[in-house]
Structure 1
Amino acid sequence: MEYFKSGLKSVLGTQQPGVQPTGAEIVDKLVDRVTLSTLLEDRRDACRALKALSKKYRVEVGAHGMDALHQILETDRADCEIIGYALDTLCNITSPERFDEEEERNNVHININVGEQFTEMFIKNPDNVTLVLNFLEEYDFRVRWPAVRLLTSLLVNKPKQIQDIVLVSPMGVSRLMDLLSDSREIIRNDALLLLVQLTKSNANIQKIVAFENAFDRLFDVIKEEGYTDGGIVVEDCLLLMLNLLKNNTSNINFFKEGSYIQRMAPMLAIPENIEDVGWSPQKVSNIHCVLQLIRALVSPNNSAQITTSCQKNLRNANILEALCSILMANGVPADILTETINTVGEVIRGNLNNQEFFAGVMAPSTPPRPAIVVLLMSMVNEKQPFSLRCAVLYCFQCFLYKNEIGQQQVVQTLLPSTSNNASLTTGQLLCGGLFNADPLSNWFSAVALSHTLIDNPAQKEQLLRVLLATNVGSQPFSLLHQCALFMQQASKLQSKLGMLMLLSTWMSHCAPAVKMFLNVPGAMAFLTAQTSATENDNNEEVLQGLCAFLMGICVVYNDNSVQNYSKENLSQLIEKRVGIETYVKKLAEVSRHEVYAKAAKQPQIKAKHSNDLLLEFEFCKLFKALEGVIIQTLGAQKQLSNGMTELSLSEQENGLLLQYKDLIREQDNMMKNLNAELGKLKEENTNLKTQLDEVLQTNSQLQDQNTLLKAQLAAASGNSDVSQLLPVSTDATSTNMQNEKLIQELEEKVKRLEVDNEIKSEEMEKLLKDQEDLLELLTDQDATLNKYKNRLRELGENIADDDGDSDINSGEEVEGGITKN
């Protein structure tokens, strides 16, 4: 401490006895020395002192010394020592973290992100960032390391802006990539962290980094560090790779064609004595990153061509085999096991060769059992972790995806067999889970079984042959019959929804299944009661909507073979007991519900709690495909049932048609006026937004100044320099308040205009809808009138139109809402 004080004395000069300079005064003198000294040694000493003060007096150093530090970087770049001090100082004042020295010094907590404020000031001139990038070429540790740390701080504070600057900076990315070859580990490791930040959510930078030989360099580092047995540096390398590959088709292709998939294999090698050695926390993290990396290559969000090619390469590189070995190994941590199951699922999803390989994997049990059976045992076991059970279901779905052979094999295990195979089968496990007391097992099993039927009509009919005996000696019932009864009797919403999804998948496009369901006692009564119910508590609207959906399937795929439940009878039942309008509303509530939106996003089941599992991805696809078909079928059936029972049209029909046409003309005029008024409002709104942008830009600059002044006031609280800062701060605050008032006025005016725009737009939309309804009614009335007149002519009646012409619309044609004469 004495050495530091003596250093300050040498830089600042001797002070008068008993007078202690304030922090702001010390900083001002140091900044003057940096700016005005002609001797490099003096500037260097002053810069070193600023660095020492930059944590405790961050605000003062940043506010007063930013320009001086920039000047050092420009003029003294030949001296590595002073450049190092300047970069270190900039690192401190832009740091996203608060320093202990700051907290100890300030009695009042300043709720301002000071580092972000100074970063914004520093990067207002993009050349400042380019200047720092240029210093990366300097090999001297005193310069290169603080330059890396400064860029990292700037990235954390303003990622998008720094990414844009680096992109346009000549050789900017190349200089960063060269850091990975630095023999000094601390620089290489910090460069890794910098690149991880830089490549987040920026496809252009990701492509440049990948083509700068990133994968080769990263794999070399991983190998040097000992693959997944290495430290956190391995994790950083894998995170950077993950940034480069996730949702980046170009880089995935480059990775695949560059034979980098084969280089991943050693990272999944698990020693035989792993149960004795154990899994260190870092190894768990490293393996987890490798699994995420594999999933990025075969994600269902990728194009089918890329996914299929990567799946093939993963199998050829024995990575699928290695994943299955981890799956069957003992002592694997639960989170690694869960992620491995998900990864295996996506590596085999839709790939028949990989699915067949997985079907042949056997668990090392006594007697040996297929891995699929062992996984399903975990899924229906309520004692297993929830995330693990979800992963098993996802893996099983992936195994059955576009796999007719696999679907057939599962259904076959439920059919009567002449063999004496006493071992547990997939079908037995699913049936057991389907009807046990655990609602989550019901849901998992129902969804799993439904995936054996997707796009496979043959298996739907095969599954109808499955018989279950509820009690010893009792007559067995079909599996569908039991599902329909369980749907009525289950007390938990999750169980009911699982059964409804299974039955909907099973009965769609399968008339025999519909016939069997209609013969189940109470089945249609249950669906009707649920669909017409008015309670909407605890996701009941989803249940009611799915019951409506299943009723609709019974109409669409009905072969009229069940007495009292023909298409016509069911349509009338819906119309009379529920009401078509209410029925359509119930259906629509499903696709509008939050649980539907979440489930329809992706095939993988993701939920934090078991109660969140209500709908499933493939069912959402089915619902979306059939909702319109059901509504259309019910509408056609209603028209068919009404038949010729409509009353004859009145003699005033032509007069009514003319009234419609006049109304349409009137609405056309209103729409033209509204369009003109809307155009004026939009133009005024654009002008106001332009003014607002200009004021906001000016206000932004004033806010920067005011923020710094406030921070300085707080930092200087109780010191003599408060009185000097106060008048400046007051003026800036006053100007700032005036600007903010103007901004508020402009924003209110803009909002009023936007509301007016919205009101006018809504009026126009309403008019357009009314016009479309009128046109539709006009067309229907016209067609119906002609139909009846033709029938009367066929019966020998002499029919003439009111205007003496056989064409109702003689002389006029209504088209697109505009009458043409």
Structure 2
Amino acid sequence: MDTSIQIFFQILAESIIVVAEAIRGNYTNQELFASTVIDNGEDGPRSSLVVLLLSMNAEKQTYKLRCAVFYCFLCYLFDNEFGKARIIETLLPNSQPSNAPTTGSLILQAISSAESVQAWFGCVTLMHCLYDVDHLCEQLLRVKINIVTEQPELALLDHVSQLLISAGNRRPQSRAGLLMLLGVWLQNCPLAVSAFMAKEDNLVYLTTHIVDECGEGTESEQQALRGLMAFVLLCCLKNIQDKDTRSSIETLISRRVGKEVVLSALEGLTRTEQFVRAAQKQQPSESNKNNLFLDFNFVKLFKSLEGTLAKQLKPNGEFNGTSNDSIVQSFKELIKRQDGDITQLKQENKKMSGEIEKLTAEAQNKEAEREVEQLRVKLDEAAAFRTQTEVLNSQLAEAQRLTQQWYAEAERYKQWAQQWQNYQLTQLPNAAEVGVTQLQQQVAELEQQLGYGYQAFEQQSQTILHYTAENAQLRERVAKAEASLSEANSKLATVNNQPVSNGAVENVDQKTSDDELAKLKQEQEELLMLLADQHNKMSVYRRRLKSLGQPVTDDEDE
């Protein structure tokens, strides 16, 4: 279920409990609440009581909401004899038939439900309708229900008895609700006792299962059920007015069960965990539906009748009843069990806290290791950038030196060519014009080649400017890397004292710089070859000038 929906139902349950406390024991508020009509549009207007019972019977509703609705309905019945009578009237044959659900029909539907929680809710709700109102117990004997259409109607008391017998030793929660309903119904209504005892199966069931220890449920639940059966059995014995019938029932109990067994079961009910829990508060447990077993008002009634019922089998007063010491001892045992549970929960909490701390420490260590690994990677990158920058700086300085040298050589060759051309124009006779023209063409070719050299020089200058800009970027990255390196060193000093490995790290930028450097070296070699070729040609020209008898200076020889 979605979290928002859970919160909505939780708030709704708390609101219903607030309404329940407001109407509990206040007749004016109870009448105002009962007269409230809710119209949801689809099913038409319905009274608030019907809406409560519909929610109580809805198995898909959350248990906490159903429990709150159940408690609200009980608060409406608390000290409200008129409200109880109106609910019983909806079950009587003379009530007006209607297809719309009534409070009585919904209670009967809950009692007959196969769901244990719903059956328990229905039984306890009807039990509260009869609580402290004896004349309604006789009125309820008139209620007839039709289970199967083709069969005749069945009295409600017989229907409840059949539900109990059909359950056998199963469904302890449902049986507890049915037995509490029968106990309150029979405890002060001789007519109901006569109708109940008229069915021999009812007495057989009680005397058989009061000694049964093999049924479903925990040992404490089995003990509580045996106590409830003893209570119902003794209520019947108390309200049998015919002495002969009473005597025969006592004899039957003594032979089949034994008086001591019945009294022990009656007294044992007060020592059960279910009895102690139910005696603590009127509101049923909202934490666990399995805790629904005994009702607060039934426990109160049981305490008031226990001594009287026990005297039915021991008229001389040999039975002491439930003493305060016994109740205190029951509470002590419950507190002892709860202390054990608390101790166990504390140990589990301590263990879980230790595990949480351990997991937290491991998570922190993993996070620190991850940060250290990231810092190591950054440190390696910074070291690689620094090395790359140093190499590029040295290569850039060497390239600048060679470029300046090539530029000086080119200027020198250009001066030689210009001197040679001037010399040819001034010294050669007219007969040598062809040779001069040829030399001029060769000089033009040399100038063209020199132009190519200048073009290459310009390209080289652009390359140098590119590397200068790249060097500036690398210097900036080195500065950032050094800052990261400083931060990494400070963190590494606090987290891990192990030295960082200086192993080789593959770097795509380094490979790119190496390729560009190799290309630059190749271009430099090509320029050197070009200049060497020009130098060779100049040497040939000088030799030819000498062969033609032209003077050549010493500098030109060199």
Compute the TM-score of the two structures, normalised by the length of structure 1: 0.36
Map 1:643-658 to 2 at 5 A.
none
For residues 117-173 of structure 1, give each alpha carbon's deviation from its aligned partner in whole angstroms, at most 9, with x where no partner exists: xxxxxxxxxxxxxxxxxxxxxxxxxxxxxxxxxxxxxxxxxxxxxxxxxxxxxxxxx
Q: Does 1:469 pair with 2:469?
A: no
CA distance in structure 2 between the aligned counterparts of 1:529 and 1:357, rounded to whole angstroms? 48
Q: Equivalent of 1:501, from 175, 180, 184?
A: 180
- Amino acid paired to 2:74: Q
Distance 1:424 1:332 in 2: 30
Q: 1:357 aligns with which of 23, 29, 32?
A: 32
Name the CA distance, whole Å, in 2 between partners of 1:608 and 1:614: 14
Residue matched to 2:85: 408
Residue 631, structure 1, aligned to residue 310, structure 2 = yes
Q: 2:11 aligns with which of 332, 336, 340?
A: 336
**C-alpha separation in 2, matches of 1:467 and 1:404:** 22
Deviation at residue 576 of structure 1 after TM alignment: 2.1
After superposition, what is the alpha-carbon deviation per residue over 1:500-539, rounded to whole angstroms, capped at 9, x for unaligned? 0101011111100111111124100000011133448622
**Where does residue 289 of structure 2 map in the other structure?**
610
Q: Call closer, same or farther: CA 1:542–1:420 in 2, change over 3 Å.
A: closer
**Going by fraction, where is helix more abundant, 1 or 2?**
2
SS of residue paired to 1:522: helix
Q: Is the 8 A contact 2:134 2:188 kept in 1?
A: yes
- Aligned alpha-carbon RMSD (Å): 2.2
Cα distance in 2, alignment partners of residues 336 and 364 from structure 1: 21
Instruction: Kindly state the Cα deviation for residue 596 of structure 1 after the two structures are TM-superposed.
Output: 0.6
Following superposition, the deviation at residue 608 of structure 1 comes to 2.0
Is 1:545–2:227 an aligned residue pair? yes
Whether the aligned pair in 2 keeps the contact of 1:568 and 1:637 (CA below 8 Å) is no
Counterpart in the other structure of 1:560: 242
CA-CA distance at 1:621 after TM superposition: 0.8
Shift of the 517–602 alpha-carbon distance from structure 1 to 2, 3 Å rule, reads same
Cα gap change, 1:418/1:431 in structure 2, threshold over 3 Å: closer, same or farther? closer
Question: Which of the numbers 576, 579, 582 marks the counterpart of 2:261?
Answer: 582
User: In structure 2, the residue corresponding to 1:417 is in which secondary structure?
Assistant: coil
Q: 1:567 to 1:521 in 2, by over 3 A?
A: closer
Residue 438 of structure 1 pairs with residue 115 of structure 2: yes
CA shift for structure 1 position 574: 2.1
* Contact 1:480-1:517 at 8 Å conserved across structures: yes
Q: Distance in 1 between matches of 2:15 and 2:233?
A: 40
The letter of the residue matching 2:30 is Q
Tell me, yes or no, if the aligned pair for 1:413 and 1:427 is still in contact at 8 Å: yes
Summarize deviations over 1:85-107 as a string: whole Å, max 9, x none: xxxxxxxxxxxxxxxxxxxxxxx
Query: 2:207: which partner in 1?
Result: 528
- Of stretches 596-605 and 533-542 in structure 1, the one that deviates more from structure 2 is 533-542
Question: Following the alignment from structure 1 to structure 2, what is the Cα–Cα distance between the partners of residues 412 and 550?
Answer: 26
For 2:28, the aligned partner's letter is N
Distance 1:552 1:354, change over 3 A: same
Counterpart of 1:596?
A: 275
Tell me if the contact between 2:70 and 2:121 (Cα under 8 Å) persists in the aligned partners.
yes
Does 2:192 correspond to 1:513?
A: yes
C-alpha separation in 1, matches of 2:227 and 2:289: 21
Q: What SS is found at the alignment partner of 2:113? A: coil
**Alignment partner of 1:426 is 2:103:** yes
Residue aligning to 1:371: 48
Q: Work out which of the residue numbers 22, 28, 31 in structure 2 matches 1:347.
A: 22
Flag the 1:590–1:607 CA change in 2: closer, same or farther, 3 A.
farther
CA distance in 1, matches of 2:152, 2:71: 35
- 2:63–2:286 Cα contact (<8 Å) kept: no
How far apart, CA to CA, are the structure 1 residues paired with 2:292 and 2:164?
17
Q: Hey, what does 2:416 align to over in structure 1?
A: none
Contact 2:270 2:276 in 1 (8 A): yes
Q: Structure 2: which 5+ residue stretches go unaligned?
A: 319-558
Paired residues of 2:213 and 2:222 also in contact (CA < 8 A): no
Please report how far the alpha carbon of residue 636 of structure 1 lies from its aligned counterpart in structure 2 after TM superposition: 2.2
Name the CA distance, whole Å, in 1 between partners of 2:316 and 2:165.
28
1:478 equivalent in alignment to 2:160 = no
Q: TM-score, normalised by structure 2?
A: 0.53
Q: 1:418 to 1:489 in 2, by over 3 A?
A: closer
- Per-residue CA deviation, residues 199-225 of structure 1 (Å, 9 max, x unaligned), is xxxxxxxxxxxxxxxxxxxxxxxxxxx
Give, in whole Å, the separation in 2 of the partners of 1:636 and 1:356: 45
Q: Is the 8 A contact 2:147 2:153 kept in 1?
A: yes
Deviation of 1:607 (Å): 4.0
In the alignment, is residue 385 of structure 1 matched against residue 67 of structure 2?
no
How many aligned positions are there? 309
Q: Which has the higher contact order (CA 8 A, sep 6+)?
A: 2
Equivalent residue, structure 2, for 1:80: none
Does the 8 Å contact 1:571/1:638 carry over to 2?
A: no
Q: Deviations over 1:666-689 (max 9, x none)?
A: xxxxxxxxxxxxxxxxxxxxxxxx
Distance across 2 between alignment mates of 1:476 and 1:420:
16
In the TM superposition, what is the alpha-carbon distance from 1:422 to its structure 2 partner? 2.4
Q: Distance in 2 between matches of 1:419 and 1:486?
A: 27
- Kindly indicate whether the alpha-carbon contact (under 8 Å) linking 1:607 and 1:613 is maintained by their aligned counterparts in 2: no
Q: Does the CA-based 8 Å contact 1:571-1:637 persist in structure 2?
A: no
Decide whether aligned partners of structure 1 residues 357 and 439 sit closer, same or farther in structure 2, where only a CA change above 3 A counts. Answer: same
Contact 1:430-1:449 within 8 A present in 2 as well: yes
Amino acid at match of 2:81: E
Whole-angstrom CA distance in 2 between matches of 1:609 and 1:439: 13
**Residues 342 and 394, structure 1, Cα contact 8 Å, conserved in 2:** yes
Q: CA deviation at 1:635?
A: 1.3
Change beyond 3 A, Cα 1:389–1:607 = same
AA aligned to 2:109 is G
Separation in 2, partners of 1:567, 1:637: 17
**Could you tell me which residue of structure 2 aligns to residue 757 of structure 1?**
none
Structure 1: give runs of 5+ residues left out of the alignment: 1-279, 285-330, 640-821
Q: Quote the Cα distance in structure 2 between the aligned partners of 1:418 and 1:479.
A: 16
Largest Rg, 1 or 2: 2
Distance in structure 1 (CA, Å) of the matches to 2:238 and 2:86: 29
- Supply the AA of the counterpart residue of 2:203: M
Deviations 1:178-214 (A, max 9, x none): xxxxxxxxxxxxxxxxxxxxxxxxxxxxxxxxxxxxx
Deviation readout 1:269-292 (Å, 9 max, x if unpaired): xxxxxxxxxxx99xx9xxxxxxxx
> Displacement, 1:431?
0.4
